[in-house]
Amino acid sequence: MFETIQGEGVFTGVPAVFVRLQECNVGCAWCDTQQTWSADPKDERTFAEVIAKQGDVPTWCLASADDVVAQYQFLGFTAKHIVITGGEPCMYDLRDLCAAFEKLGCKCQIETSGTSPVLVSDSTWVTVSPKVAMKGKLEVLKSALERANEIKHPVATSKDIDQLDELINSAVIQDSVVIALQPISQKDRATQLCMETCIERNWRLSVQTHKYLNIA
């Protein structure tokens, strides 16, 4: 758990506290947080040790919703935007965690691949970043797409846009949903493709500004 600036999507530039949950069964080839994929018992630590860790190490801890909120308060964080991410956060029932933060006047956002049921509070902003044909061979759930407030799709080639079209056509997407294209790894060709498509379709470009700024 750490405080920083949200670097991508609708809330780009907003001060945020990230709560990064351990474990992911999706297996994205380009994932920049592969240390979160498993929860090996030998890597279990105390909450204090996990908060203090430096670098991309796979240490983790068990914590309740109340434990997480207590640490948020103890650390003196001031950001009221809480980003619950992973790993794949929707491998867990997040309703208690969202409710605990909302009692403090915070607003929660989750970032999910859409491959697990989305169990969050009604007011949580759900960002689905669909992961299609990944190593884990998991289906993007129609229910996740239909709960989404924002669909932020990683793009390397035109094939990825075709896959997004198939997903959108397979579900009843909210009229208010924000559709954003995010170039994978800031590649020039992918960025150009995303810009051209966003202009053509009146979608939004999501640039990973935190990577350009070299912040967490």
Binding site, annotated residues for Mg(2+): 33
> Which tokens is 16 given?
């945020």
Give the pLDDT confidence of 17-32 residue by residue, as tens digits.
Answer: 999 999 999 988 878 8
Give the pLDDT confidence of 69-95 residue by residue, as tens digits.
Answer: 999 999 999 999 999 999 999 999 999
| CATH class held by domain 2-213 | alpha beta
Binding site, annotated residues: 5-7, 20, 24, 28, 30-33, 85, 87, 129-131
Task: State how far the Cα of 194 lies from the Cα of 29, in Å rounded to an integer.
Answer: 20
Binding site, annotated residues for substrate: 5-7, 20, 85
| Residue 26, Cβ density class (10 Å: 0-12 exposed, 13-18 middle, ≥19 buried) | buried
Domain ranges of the chain: 2-213
Give the pLDDT confidence of 31-74 residue by residue, as tens digits.
Answer: 888 999 999 999 999 999 999 988 889 999 999 999 999 999 99
Binding site, annotated residues for S-adenosyl-L-methionine: 30-32, 87, 129-131
Q: Which of 174, 153, 173, 177 is nearest to 164 (CA)?
A: 153
Question: What does pLDDT average to over the chain?
Answer: 93
